[in-house]
Amino acid sequence: MRRKLVVGNWKMHGSHAANAELLAGILAAKPYACDLAVCVPAPYLSEAAVTLAGSSVRWGAQDCSAHEQGAYTGEVAASMLSEFGCRYVIVGHSERRSYHHETDLLVADKAKAALAKGVTPIVCVGETLAQREAGETETVVKRQLSAVIHALGHCAGEMVVAYEPLWAIGTGRTASPEQAQAVHQVLRAQLRAATAHADAMLILYGGSVKPDNAAQLFAQPDIDGGLIGGASLKAADFVAICRAAG
């Protein structure tokens, strides 16, 4: 049985005071029956590492460079994240793909760079509303995941996958449990064809997950937890979602 994982994605939110209050609320509610982590903006990695040290809560980053080092102003190398004790890094989030025009190949290279430094990539895949309405969901997510599987080779089983339909991110719309499960099942089958570890791999759902819908989503056989955006910024909501996973 796969142990659920809930990951908070703070996006571009945070301050010293807000972070301290949020992390204190999360820590005060432990123990949890699931694994959990927070992926924070790069300036707050040290703060998260100090606050969460010795606890069961992991911390991670929201992106990393595909390059090891060099003249890449503004980029953050996976080796730097590793020094901060990051367990996870999000790669290929829809906002990076949309706003920064990241390609499937670049996302795959980032995932490979992260794994090379011992940081687990959370690889995001998902379709737009237009693609879903055109019946292209399966083609899109399989194409996105295929690039990463190819780049990672025999290490593909070490990543975490997150399905995040773009039409359900920050919109208040959520894929129904049945819609989400259908895509997770497709992704699981694709992973089974690529690695013997597929049945142990985690596939998270991301897209307007809230305390009142988390339990139904997490009850699906191939949904192994969530990548949580807005609800991860309120300790009470994030804790409730974590409880739903356990």
CATH label of the domain that carries residue 12: 3.20.20.70
| R_g (Cα) of the chain, nearest Å | 17
Which residue stretches of the chain are H helix?
16-28, 45-52, 78-83, 94-99, 104-116, 129-133, 137-152, 177-194, 214-218, 235-245
Q: State residue 113's pLDDT score.
A: 98
191 neighbors 160 (Cβ within 8 angstroms): no
Mean pLDDT of 227-241: 97
* pLDDT, tens digit, 9 for 90 and up, residues 140-150: 999 999 999 99
88-91 and 160-163 beta bridge pairing? unpaired
Q: State residue 140's pLDDT score.
A: 98
- Over 80: is that where the pLDDT of 174 sits? no
- Over 80: is that where the pLDDT of 195 sits? yes
Q: State residue 167's pLDDT score.
A: 87
Identify the domain containing residue 68 by its residue range: 5-245
- Over 90: is that where the pLDDT of 180 sits? yes
- Over 80: is that where the pLDDT of 170 sits? no
Share above pLDDT 90 across residues of the chain, in percent, rounded to a whole number: 94
Which residues does the annotation mark as catalytic?
A: 93, 164
Residues 6+ away with beta carbon under 8 Å from 188: 198, 199, 201, 203, 222
Count the domains in the chain: 1
